[in-house]
Amino acid sequence: MSKSKNKKNNTLKVNTLAANTAKLAKNPPLQTVDSNKYEIDYFRLYESLYRKEISDWQQARIARHDPFNPLTYPLQQLYKDAMLDNHLAGAIENRILRVVNKQFIIKNPDGKPDFERTQLIRTRWFRTLIRRALESKFFGYSLILIQEASRGNITKIIDVPRENVIPEKGIILKNGLDPSGENIKIADYPYHFVYIQLAGAIGKLEQVAPLTIFKRHSWAAWDEFEQIFGVPLRIARTMIDTPKHKADLQLWLETMGLAGYIILDKRVDIDIKENNRSDAFNVFAQKISLINKEISKAILGQTMTMDDGGSYSQAEIHLQTLDDITNADITDIEDWFNNDFCNVLRGWGYDIPEGYRLDIVANASVNPTEKIKVDEALMRNGWNLDKDYIEQTYEVKLDADNPRNNQPQALNYSKNPELDFFV
């Protein structure tokens, strides 16, 4: 099968700040225009859609591990093909959502939440950025271009194809299949390109991709088995060897249904050996099931959060294993933001002073009504609630400069204790 790959020009337009432009970017070596935007050209190759086999995986690894001119295109194309597997895609999405769905809070050096600065990152582009950061653990890396932004306000980011990026050299290739050709250095644009690598530059999918190939083989073999043995073959034998008779006979067979059929001369015989075992399908089903378990172990560290089986106590252990992996992902994201990306935000004019950090916390699962009852009991026993605690817990803003002058009336818990907290 032909493996030719056409090239397609694609232009990335980078917005720059109105002020301090010279500090944030250098003129790209490929092309510039007389405007407030910078153009960076690169070739994006069409997706390779032919069927991937183990030989493709081996050749892609050889190209990727080349110590002198590593090539990322073949392996990244193989990763995209592997992600068509529903189980693998679901496992990775499960792991990403366990981080993305949590609360991202910016805290001051004292550890208190800063809600005004937190609002700066509660945007769609930031959630996309966190997703790309987590994807880097599986694909090896991610490269984001901040395409549209003004001072203190990033509005649009786009992905730079991983096929064009060579992490070991820190460059973007103009031609993704020519590792020694014209390129752009990522370091020349420290405030426009956001390179993210939370683990190894090869990615977890290197060890998982061949499993999806074996799984596809089993599905194909099972489908062929179904076509041969799933529906009985209809055989018509005739001694009349005329074209009209055979055409009429073929028409009759076609109108009888969709099952396979064959027209033979009386002297020709075909013997089909049927498999009389009722569990013949288990050869394929068991292999697919085992591959799914191996994929779950590689991505989630366990199997029971996606697959069936086991007792409740075993499920608790598996869930704890997944929680440990999630906590590690959260720590990696926090370290990357606090040590790397926060400097990029400051370069774009975001008001995030030194010492401020990102903290990822779980969403509160306590019912607000139950929480009010707990806080009410604390107040009843003489404890005062901290202002920051009230604002964070109930997502309200208290006016400390203009407190109420009148004192609240004595609490009457006999009428409606759930509302007494707000008196």
pLDDT digits (tens, 9 = 90+) for 67-87: 999 999 999 999 999 999 999
Cβ proximity of 260 and 233 under 8 Å: yes
Per-residue pLDDT tens digits for 12-62: 433 333 333 333 333 334 333 343 345 566 666 677 778 899 999 999 999
Cβ proximity of 166 and 70 under 8 Å: yes
pLDDT of 378 strictly over 60: yes
For residue 173, give the H/E element and its range.
strand 171-173
DSSP symbol at 292: H
Whole-number average pLDDT of the chain:
80
Q: Report how far apart the first and last C-alpha atoms of the chain are (Å, whole number).
A: 77
H-type alpha helices, 25-123: 54-64, 73-82, 86-100, 115-118
Amino acid at 352: I
Specify the higher pLDDT residue, 2 or 223. 223
Per-residue pLDDT tens digits for 150-162: 889 999 999 999 9
Q: What is the pLDDT of residue 381?
A: 84
Specify the higher pLDDT residue, 272 or 215. 215
Lowest mean pLDDT among 49-63, 278-292, 308-322: 308-322
Query: Sorting pLDDT into bands at 50, 70 and 90, what band is 295?
Result: very high
Longest dimension (CA), the chain: 109
The phi, psi pair for 406, rounded to 5°, reads: -80, 140
Q: 155-159: which pairs have CB atoms within 8 A and are 24 or more residues apart?
A: 155/125, 156/125, 157/125, 157/128, 157/129, 157/194, 158/12, 159/132
Q: What is the pLDDT of residue 277?
A: 57
- Which residue carries 């009429």 as its tokens? 248
Measured CA to CA, the distance from residue 148 to residue 17 in angstroms comes to: 9
% residues pLDDT > 90 (the chain):
48
pLDDT of 201 strictly over 90: yes
pLDDT of 288 strictly over 90: yes
Measured CA to CA, the distance from residue 148 to residue 144 in angstroms comes to: 12
Q: What is the pLDDT of residue 9?
A: 39
Please report, for the chain, the start and end positions of each structural domain, with discontinuous segments joined by +: 7-207, 234-271, 368-422
- Please state the rounded mean pLDDT for residues 119-134: 96
pLDDT of 421 strictly over 60: no
